[in-house]
C-alpha cells in the first residue's frame, strides 16, 4: 500500500526535538485518505462539489522528489496539478532572463500546477517548479482536472483571475529587467515627440526601482528645450540587436553637473520582439554540438556558439567560402550523438572572433526546418536548460 506520513504542526515554532517527536508519531495515510482529511479546506477543493472532490481524491497518487529536482519548466506542456504533502516547492520564472525570479514558496497542503491546465494558458506551464527539499506530493491527472473544471465556471473564473494577477507581477518585473538591460548596454536610443518631425538621440542612463522612474540623458538638438514636462515620448532602442519600443511620460527635468536629465515614468506597455521561441541557448566549450556545412561540394565543420528555435551561430576557420547572404540547403547540425537536424539556412552575419584570429563566427537563421527536427531541437534545448539548472543547484 502506498502510504504517507501526515504531520500535525503546532501553531508555535517547534524545536528540533519537538519536530522529531512529531515526525515519529506520524499517521500513515493513503493518498485518498490524506486528501479527505487534510485537503478539504484547500481553496481549490472547497469550491468543488463533494462528488468531484471525492473523484479527484481517489485518483491522486504520491510522487516523491529530492532536493533541487525540477518538476517542470515554464513553457512545458501541463499534464497534472499537485498538492503538497510534505516538503517545500519553489515556483519561479527565468524566461528570457539571466537569473531566476522567485514567485512563491509552497509548503504542506498548498496546491499548484492548475494554471497550465486552464484553456486561457493553452495547456502550457506559466512558471517553473523545483523541490527545495525532499518533498512528497499528490499528483492528479491533468485530464481529470480539465474535465472537472469544464463545468465549474465559478472556480475557473477565480483561477483565471489569480493567473492574470500572477502574470501581471511577472510582466512588471520583466519590464524592469528589460529597462535595466537597456541601461547597462549604453546603446543609443531614439526619442520621438509628436510636435517635431525629427527624432532625438539619447541614452537610458538609470532605472530607479524604488521611485518607479527612468532617467534619460540630455539630447542634442537645434531646438531650445525640445522636451518638456508632461511630454509623451516614444522610445526605440535595442538589446543585443533585438528591437525594444515603449512610450514614457516626462515627470521632471533636472540639471545635474551641468547636464540636463529627464526623469520619466516606467512604461505601461513595452514591445520586445524576442519571445521564448527565440531564446538563444549558449553552448560552452564543453559542448560537443557541431555544425556541418556543405557548399560547392566541400564540407566545413565547426563548433556551435549558441542555438535557438529560429537560428544559430557557429565558428568556422577563417577563409572558408561562405559569406553573408548565402542560402545553404545542405546542412547538418549534430547536437548530440542521438540528435541531428538538417535545416536550410541563410547566413545573416560573419564576425571576427576575439582572441581567435583564425576563426570567424557565422550567425544564421533557419529558412526551413521539418516538424520532426523542430521538435528534436526544442527537446534538446529544454533538456540542456534542465541539466544546467540541476548543475547550478549542486
- Chain-centroid distance of CA 273 in Å reads 15
Q: Where in the chain is the domain with CATH 2.30.110.10?
A: 186-274
Residue pointed to by grid coordinates 525640445 = 226
- Fold for the domain defined by 277-392: Thrombin, subunit H (2.40.10)
Tell me the pLDDT of the chain averaged across its residues: 80
For the structural domain made of 186-274, what CATH number should be given? 2.30.110.10
Q: Order of strands, edge to edge, in the sheet holding 128-131?
A: 70-72, 128-131, 89-93, 101-106
50-59 and 31-38 helices cross at what angle (nearest 10)?
140
Neighbour count for residue 311 (Cβ, 10 Å): 18
Specify the higher pLDDT residue, 62 or 117: 62
β-bridge partners, 244 = 237, 272
**pLDDT above 90 for 300:** yes
Dump pLDDT digits (tens) for 61-112. Answer: 999 999 989 999 888 888 899 999 999 999 888 765 556 777 888 989 888 9
Instruction: Choose which CATH entry (3.30.70.330, 3.40.50.2300, 2.30.30.90, 2.60.120.10) describes domain 4-172.
Output: 2.60.120.10
Identify the pLDDT of residue 5: 36
Of the candidates 182, 156, 146, the one whose C-alpha atom is nearest the C-alpha of residue 59 is 146
Alpha-carbon dihedral angle through residues 356, 357, 359, 364, given to the nearest 10 degrees = 100
User: What percentage of the chain has pLDDT greater than the value 70?
Assistant: 80
Q: Where in the chain is the domain with CATH 2.40.10.220?
A: 277-392
Mean pLDDT for the stretch of residues 11-31? 45
Mean pLDDT for the stretch of residues 52-58? 86
φ, ψ of residue 297 to 5 degrees: the values are 80, 0
Helix or strand or coil: residue 201?
strand
Q: Where in the chain is the domain with CATH 2.60.120.10?
A: 4-172
When pLDDT is cut at 50, 70 and 90, the band that residue 222 belongs to is confident
Q: Is the pTM of this model over 0.85?
A: no
User: What percentage of the chain has pLDDT greater than the value 90?
Assistant: 30
When pLDDT is cut at 50, 70 and 90, the band that residue 384 belongs to is confident
Dump pLDDT digits (tens) for 325-336. Answer: 899 999 999 998
Identify the pLDDT of residue 95: 61
Q: Please answer whether residues 127 and 74 qualify as being in contact, where contact means their C-beta atoms are separated by less than 8 angstroms.
A: yes
**pLDDT above 80 for 276:** no
When pLDDT is cut at 50, 70 and 90, the band that residue 316 belongs to is very high
Identify the pLDDT of residue 168: 53
* Residues near 386 by beta carbon (within 8 Å), at least 6 away in sequence: 70, 73
**pLDDT above 80 for 254:** yes
Amino acid at each position: 500500500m502506498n502510504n504517507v506520513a501526515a504531520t500535525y504542526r503546532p501553531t508555535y515554532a517547534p524545536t528540533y526535538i519537538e519536530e522529531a517527536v512529531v515526525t515519529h508519531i506520524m499517521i500513515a495515510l493513503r493518498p485518498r485518505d490524506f486528501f479527505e482529511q487534510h485537503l478539504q479546506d484547500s481553496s481549490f477543493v472547497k469550491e468543488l462539489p463533494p462528488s468531484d472532490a471525492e473523484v479527484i481524491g481517489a485518483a491522486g497518487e504520491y510522487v516523491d522528489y529530492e532536493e533541487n529536482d525540477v518538476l517542470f519548466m515554464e513553457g512545458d506542456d501541463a499534464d497534472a496539478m499537485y498538492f503538497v504533502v510534505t516538503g517545500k516547492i519553489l515556483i519561479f520564472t527565468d524566461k528570457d532572463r539571466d537569473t531566476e525570479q522567485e514567485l512563491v514558496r509552497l509548503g504542506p497542503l498548498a496546491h499548484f500546477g492548475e494554471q497550465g491546465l486552464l484553456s486561457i494558458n493553452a495547456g502550457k506551464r506559466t512558471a517553473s517548479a523545483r523541490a527545495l527539499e525532499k518533498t512528497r506530493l499528490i499528483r492528479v491527472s491533468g485530464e481529470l482536472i480539465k474535465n472537472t473544471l469544464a463545468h465549474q465556471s465559478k472556480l475557473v473564473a477565480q483561477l483565471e483571475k489569480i493567473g492574470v494577477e500572477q502574470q501581471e507581477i511577472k510582466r512588471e518585473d520583466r519590464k524592469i529587467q528589460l529597462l535595466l538591460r537597456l541601461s547597462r548596454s549604453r546603446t543609443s536610443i531614439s526619442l520621438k515627440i509628436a510636435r517635431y518631425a525629427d527624432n532625438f538621440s539619447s541614452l537610458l542612463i538609470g532605472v530607479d526601482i524604488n521611485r518607479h522612474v527612468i532617467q534619460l540623458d540630455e539630447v542634442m538638438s537645434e531646438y531650445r528645450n525640445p522636451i518638456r514636462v508632461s511630454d509623451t515620448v516614444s522610445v526605440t532602442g535595442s538589446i543585443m540587436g533585438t528591437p525594444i519600443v515603449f512610450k514614457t511620460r516626462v515627470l521632471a527635468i533636472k540639471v545635474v553637473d551641468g547636464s540636463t536629465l529627464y526623469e520619466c515614468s516606467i512604461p505601461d506597455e513595452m514591445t520586445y520582439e524576442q519571445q521564448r521561441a527565440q531564446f538563444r541557448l549558449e553552448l560552452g566549450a564543453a559542448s560537443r554540438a557541431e555544425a556541418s556545412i556543405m557548399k560547392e561540394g566541400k564540407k566545413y565543420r565547426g563548433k556551435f556558439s549558441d542555438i535557438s528555435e529560429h537560428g544559430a551561430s557557429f565558428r568556422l576557420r577563417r577563409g572558408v567560402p561562405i559569406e553573408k547572404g548565402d542560402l545553404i540547403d545542405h546542412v547538418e547540425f549534430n547536437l548530440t550523438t542521438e540528435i541531428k537536424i538538417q535545416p536550410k539556412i541563410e547566413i545573416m552575419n560573419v564576425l571576427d572572433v576575439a582572441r581567435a584570429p583564425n576563426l570567424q563566427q557565422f550567425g544564421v537563421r533557419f529558412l526551413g526546418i521539418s516538424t520532426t527536427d523542430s521538435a528534436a531541437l526544442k527537446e534538446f534545448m529544454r533538456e540542456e536548460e534542465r541539466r544546467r539548472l540541476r548543475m547550478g543547484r549542486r
